[in-house]
Structure formats: structure tokens, C-alpha cells
Amino acid sequence: MIDNPYYTNEFHGEYELISIGQLDLEEGGSIPDCQLAVATFGTLNDAKDNAILVTTWYSGTHQIFRDVYIGPEHALNPEKYFIVVINQIGNGLSTSPHNAPDDLAMSKFPKVRIGDDVVAQERLLREHFGIETLQLVVGGSMGAQQTYEWAVRFPDKVERAAPIAGTAQNTPHDFLYTHTLNEAIRSDPGWDGGEYKSNEDVKAGLTRQADIWGVVGFSTEFWKQEVWRALEFTTMDEFLDGFLRPYFTVMDPNDLLAMAWKWQRGDVTRHTGGDLGAALGRITAKTFVMPINEDMFFPPRDCAAEQALVPNSELRVVDDVLGHLGLFGVAPTYMPQIDQHLKELLDSDA
Amino acid sequence: MIDNPYYTNEFHGEYELISIGQLDLEEGGSIPDCQLAVATFGTLNDAKDNAILVTTWYSGTHQIFRDVYIGPEHALNPEKYFIVVINQIGNGLSTSPHNAPDDLAMSKFPKVRIGDDVVAQERLLREHFGIETLQLVVGGSMGAQQTYEWAVRFPDKVERAAPIAGTAQNTPHDFLYTHTLNEAIRSDPGWDGGEYKSNEDVKAGLTRQADIWGVVGFSTEFWKQEVWRALEFTTMDEFLDGFLRPYFTVMDPNDLLAMAWKWQRGDVTRHTGGDLGAALGRITAKTFVMPINEDMFFPPRDCAAEQALVPNSELRVVDDVLGHLGLFGVAPTYMPQIDQHLKELLDSDA
């Protein structure tokens, strides 16, 4: 267990650690006391039928949703809905390599799959809050993987689904992309087979990971148009050193690797023997598939191919020059589009 | 100086090493005895006005042009033209870090710019062959950078120009992309500040570089459609281990870094105080700008923006699902497009 100040209330505001007990894992083994970090917004009504689940992405936590996506001015309106953001296993706030008990910690952390997260989330919602159905499941990137997994695994529980900038079945390109992110960490001698003493020991590797994100996570136009100037940086290097690299270097390397392993293997066809049409055909939720037009690794055509297999679905492409990392909501034109699509989805009959 | 069997006639067939004497460099310093590796095809006519110059890309040599681009069935027809392929400085065949005399070798190799290459090439063509004008300058990727540099620097000498999958002014996205390629090498402890004993010492870093090429050099569809099966591999891993990684791991790390430094700084506006329109406005060559539609780091829009500034030019987009590495000519539909465009260009009045 490592003491990393990034994964604290000081940086992440209020959240609750909720134990769901022992979580048996698809790959074998278990997490004896699986704790999920949960942030809620709004009030669960007596019928317990106004809940929305928000899932988190690689490197992300509930924080970005609290700060950018959720509020009375947004579709994710806590005055109307009970919004539950559940941090994914391995993200540093929920049970993760860096904070697990010694026998699960660091290099000993078990392999966790997207399906394990969704099973854990369903149990938490049901046992802790008494929630049996969700008005909406929504998440971006790895959060979209969880959203699809929810809609395929628990079709009766998901009224609406909004996978943003992500896929139901991870693509080979994304597998290789994630491999390069992992290798940036694992090639750092400071990583030491996962037994480093501090994330600071792996700063060089985390910096290399950040730079690869810079190449694939943003769009070519983001750099060409110097969109980073909107964040009040005056040079590209300042943006890298002041924003993108520090974003990753404070994080825990093993936590990132645990999430990456999941990301690489996200695949709803595990339920249907490899048949994507059959898996997505199970979805009964009204679904808006929402790729970002400039996304370089979840391009709209990959998302559109899946959307075509979801019975009650629409493709809603979000325009954002930032590309995949448009998910951060930096562009002033981003959230209005998200809100418009989610509001329309929430207002529609499921 | 390192003995690397890849950079030999055994692997690269016939070529001639031609000294152009001392080459003074834009960044200062000089290469006292600059040798360029040259492969020629066809016969220079008495008027010396049937010459075509082909420039090389990052990691590339004359070999790919000999094997794929040049022949009586192609636009680059040696029965009609005298085709000179000049290997760029630093590519391992021409003067390069790994083969330079001791006082210039390895980490002591000076910084070379695209402009230095073009000055060296012009001198070689003039002094060695007596060539004063070129029917065509053509090259892909870094070869496109050299093509643009030729057309801007020596407008009277270039009748026609065909920059394929490259830009006149390197983009910030490409700068960062190349940085990640460089860091893959430099982060390998075996690189040893450029003083390794063998490229084998840097195999891990070169492998990481290969994988990053896999993410950005091909298209997402290349991986999704498993286009590598056309090369008779049966799994993605086999393709990586049998093709992409070995392609890079035989190469010299310092040579790759020398080319990368050039690539990052390719910029014809060095002639015009930063004014791209003024620089490209100098071009008198009839120019076909030929991006590849699926290219992730020289996307057509970047090439189109430059084409719009070249007076006597046309945009000719090449369809290839391989993306940037379509340049290898693997897709059977690639060379017919290249040939069609180049033939039309060569047959037109300059």
C-alpha cells in the first residue's frame, strides 16, 4: 500500500467508500472486501426510480462529472435525478493496486474485467440504495464500455444508455494503443515490476504515457489550432508541462495498468460466444451512441458500426476539436451538445 | 562507428556512395566528407533533362522505391527517365551517426536539417551528374518535406513536384508524435546517451517505437479489417513480431534520432521569416499534393491547406486503408493510384 496524496478527499472532494463484500472475479480469485468510491448528487425518490448511474473512464474519477457534467443547469440534473457516480475498480479511489491490503497490493492485484465492475456496481446500487432500475447509464471511454456492459448484462435494469466516445467491443487498434501506454510505464526502471515505493519513482514513464496521450488523445487540429491557449498557456511545452504531464504523473502506475488491462479486454460478446450482433441485440435500453467526431482512437465509424446493431438506438455525433479528450469538457461547445442529447434521451419514453 | 549488417549491399542491393565533400550545416558545424548513397535507374540523356529525383523517408532507403515504385510498368519509368534516389543524411546508408568517422560518430553527430539534405542533393546532382533541372522531385513523408524544400529553395530547377503524405511545414502534432518515437529510444537504458555498442542493446526501445508506429502509422481500419492478413500473418501479434517490430529493431537508434530531429523541424518558412504563403508562393513547379486519406499524422486537411498556397498545384488524395504506411505499397490498389497521378503530372506541361 502506497500513500498517494492525489487519491484523497483533498483532491477529490466528498465521496463515500462503500464495501460490497467479497467480489469474485471473472478471471479467477476475488477481492475479499471490495470497496467502491461513490459520489451522489440529488435525492433518491421513494419509488427509487429516478436514479442515474455514471461510470468513470481510464484515469478518471467522479470529480470531472461533479465539476463539469452534473448540475441543475445540465441534463444530469440533481434536482430531478439521483445521480450516482461509481468510481471503477482500480481507479485509485475504489479498491486499487496502490490502496489494497498487502496480499492484493501492487503487483499482486488481481486481473479485473469490465464485467466485474458492472457486477459490483449492480450489487452496490441494489444492496446499498435499493435501486433496481436505472433511468440512464452514462459514461465516456471506459465508462462507455461499462455502459454497454450494463445494457447487455442487465437489460431489464437499464431504461436508457448513453455510451460516449467508447465501444462495446474494444478494437485491436485500441488494444495496441493501450499497450504503448502500458509499456511507457513498464519500461521505466523505477516501475520495478510494480513494486516501486512511490509514483514519483515512475515519473519518467508516466510522462511518456502523457505524451502518447497528447498524440492520440487529442486531434491533429487541437494542436494545429493551438486550442490549449484557451487554457491560458502560451506555448505547447507549457501546456504539456503544466497540464497534460502533471495530470498523469500524480497518478499511481499500477492503478493505471489495472484499468488499462480492463480497457484492452472490454467486450460484450463474452456473453454471446463472440457474436457482437447477438450481444448488442440484447439491449432493450433506448440508446444514444455518442462518439466525438475528432476522436482518433474511438472514431465515429467504429461507434456507428456498433450503434447499427443496437435495436432502439440513435447515433449522436458530438463535434469537438479536442478529440477524445474533449470528454474533459474544455471546449465551451462541448457540454451544450452533451446536455442536448442527454436531455432528449431522458425526456423520451424508454 | 558501429558495424550494422542491415546497412549493407546484402540488404540494400546496389548503390553508390558519392562524396560531395564538405557540407556546412545550417545549425553550424559541418560534415567534412559527406557521402550520399545513391541508386540510379535508367540513363541520363545527352541534354541531361530527363532526370527525376526521389527522396527518402524516415527509416526508409532507396530499396522500397526500387522494389515498389520504379520500373517500366510504373510512372517512374527508367526506360524514359533517369531516376536518382538519394538516401537522406542519417538514414544509415548515407553519412549517418552509426557510420561516421569517430569525431562525428554516434552522440557526436551534428544536427542536420532538411535544407542541408537538399543542398547536398543539389550539389551531387550538379557536380556528379551535370543535372541542372529535374523533371520531377517526388518523395513520401520526410521525402515530401525534401520535395517541398527543393521546390521552394530551387524553384528554377524543379519542373514538377509530388509531395506524398507529407507537409512543407511540420505540424505540432507531428512534432509531438516524433517526440514519443524518440523517447521510446532514449528511455532505453541500453541507449546509454547514444553510446551503445550495438543496436541490439536498444532492442526494447526500438520495439516500443515500432508499436507506437503501429498505433499512429496505420489506420484504425487497418487493424479492424485485419489487413495484415494480406501479408500472410494469422494473428496481430504475429504481424507485430514478424513484420513491424523487426523492421525497426534492425535499425540504428542514433540514425533514427538524427532523421527524427530533421523531421520535427522541417519548415519551408525558414526562407520567408515564417510566412507559409510566401514560401509556398515561390514554387513554380507544377505540383500534385498527394496525401493518403487514412493518414493519421499527415491528414489530408493539413496537406490541402498547404496545397491551397501552391500556385500551380492540385490536390490528389490517395485512398489507402493502411494510412501513412500505405507508402510501403502493400495494398494492390496503392501503386495504380500513385502511377496514375505521377504519369499525369509527368505528361503535363510544367
Locate A204 and state its grid cell: 519518467
Percentage of chain A beyond pLDDT 70 is: 100
Provide the residue range defining the domain that includes A213: 175-258
Per-residue pLDDT at B221 = 97
Residue A264 has pLDDT above 90, yes or no: yes
Domain co-membership, B52 together with B193: no
Question: A207, A239, A258: which is the final residue of a domain?
Answer: A258
Give me the residue from A187, A222, A296 closest to B187, CB to CB. A187
Active site residue B295: yes
The helix/strand/coil state of B14 is coil
Please state, in angstroms and rounded to a whole number, the distance separating the CA atoms of residues B124 and B112: 17
CATH of the domain at A102: 3.40.50.1820
Question: B258, B275, B308: which is the final residue of a domain?
Answer: B258
Nearest to B243 by CA among B215, B204, B210: B210
Residue B293 has pLDDT above 90, yes or no: yes
pLDDT, tens digit, 9 for 90 and up, residues B143-159: 999 999 999 999 999 99
Which residue out of A220, A227, A293, A297 would a mutagenesis test of the B interface target, given it has the greatest number of B Cβ atoms within 10 Å? Answer: A220
Give B-chain residues touching A171 at CB under 8 angstroms. Answer: 220, 223-224
Asked if residue A3 belongs to a domain, the reply is no
ipTM of the complex: 0.96
Please state, in angstroms and rounded to a whole number, the distance separating the CA atoms of residues B329 and B344: 19
Asked if residue B3 belongs to a domain, the reply is no
Instruction: Give Cα A239 to chain centroid, integer Å.
Output: 24
Question: A258, A285, A308: which is the final residue of a domain?
Answer: A258
pLDDT, tens digit, 9 for 90 and up, residues A65-100: 999 999 999 999 999 999 999 999 999 999 999 999
Domain co-membership, B193 together with B71: no
Asked if residue A2 belongs to a domain, the reply is no
HSE (side-chain half, CA atoms, 13 Å) at A111: 10
B183 at A interface, C-beta within 8 A: yes
Domain co-membership, A30 together with A119: yes
Q: What are the strands, taking DSSP E only, across chain A?
A: 16-19, 23-24, 30-31, 35-41, 51-55, 82-86, 136-140, 160-164, 286-289, 313-315
Asked if residue A85 belongs to a domain, the reply is yes
CATH of the domain at B247: 1.10.1740.110
Residues with Cβ within 8 Å of residue B153, at least 6 apart in sequence: B115, B118, B119, B268, B271
Asked if residue A4 belongs to a domain, the reply is no
The C-alpha of A223 sits at a distance from chain B's nearest C-alpha, in angstroms, of 6
Mean pLDDT computed over A318-345 = 97
pLDDT, tens digit, 9 for 90 and up, residues A190-215: 999 999 999 999 999 999 999 999 99
Nearest to A135 by CA among A115, A165, A164, A161: A161
Domain co-membership, A84 together with A148: yes
Give me the residue from B173, B180, B216 closest to A223, CB to CB. B173
Locate A168 and state its grid cell: 462495446
Per-residue pLDDT at B64 = 97
Mean pLDDT computed over A13-38 = 97
Asked if residue A29 belongs to a domain, the reply is yes
Domain co-membership, A125 together with A68: yes
Active site residue A320: no
Asked if residue A321 belongs to a domain, the reply is yes
Question: How far are the Cα atoms of B20, B23, B95, B120, B262 from residue B33, in angstroms, in the given order?
Answer: 7, 7, 8, 11, 20
Residues with Cβ within 8 Å of residue A2, at least 6 apart in sequence: A98, A99, A106, A197, A198, A199, A252
Domain co-membership, A59 together with A139: yes
Asked if residue B297 belongs to a domain, the reply is yes
Residues with Cβ within 8 Å of residue B137, at least 6 apart in sequence: B52, B53, B54, B55, B146, B147, B150, B151, B158, B160, B161, B162, B285
pLDDT, tens digit, 9 for 90 and up, residues B332-346: 999 999 999 999 999
A259 near A58, Cβ under 8 Å? yes
Locate A160 and state its grid cell: 436508457
- Give the residues across from A70 on adjacent strands: A76
Domain co-membership, A65 together with A162: yes
Domain co-membership, B37 together with B145: yes
Domain co-membership, A126 together with A272: yes
Residue A350 has pLDDT above 90, yes or no: no
Helix, strand, coil in percent for chain A, rounding step 5: 45, 15, 40
Domain co-membership, B315 together with B274: yes
Mean pLDDT computed over A239-268 = 98
Per-residue pLDDT at B309 = 98
pTM over 0.80? The answer is yes
Instruction: Give Cα A199 to chain centroid, integer Å.
Output: 21
Burial of A66 (0-12, 13-18, 19+ CB in 10 A): buried
pLDDT class for B110, splitting at 50, 70, 90? Answer: very high
Q: Cβ–Cβ contacts within 10 Å for residue A8, how many?
A: 12
Give me the residue from A187, A205, A215 closest to B173, CB to CB. A215
User: What is the tally of structural domains in chain B?
Assistant: 2
User: Which residue is it, cell 513498464?
Assistant: A186
Locate B287 and state its grid cell: 505540383
Please indicate whether, in this complex, the C-beta atoms of B187 and A208 are within 8 angstroms of each other.
Answer: yes
Domain co-membership, A271 together with A252: no
Residue B96 has pLDDT above 90, yes or no: yes
Q: Cβ–Cβ contacts within 10 Å for residue B77, how many?
A: 19
B44 at A interface, C-beta within 8 A: no
A204 at B interface, C-beta within 8 A: yes
pLDDT, tens digit, 9 for 90 and up, residues B247-291: 999 999 999 999 999 999 999 999 999 999 999 999 999 999 999
Per-residue pLDDT at A1 = 85
Active site residue A141: yes
Residue B189 has pLDDT above 90, yes or no: yes
Residue B1 has pLDDT above 90, yes or no: no
Domain co-membership, B166 together with B307: yes
B68 at A interface, C-beta within 8 A: no
Q: What is the 3-state secondary structure (H, E, C) of A219-254?
A: CHHHHHCCHHHHHCCCCHHHHHHHHHHHHHHCCCHH
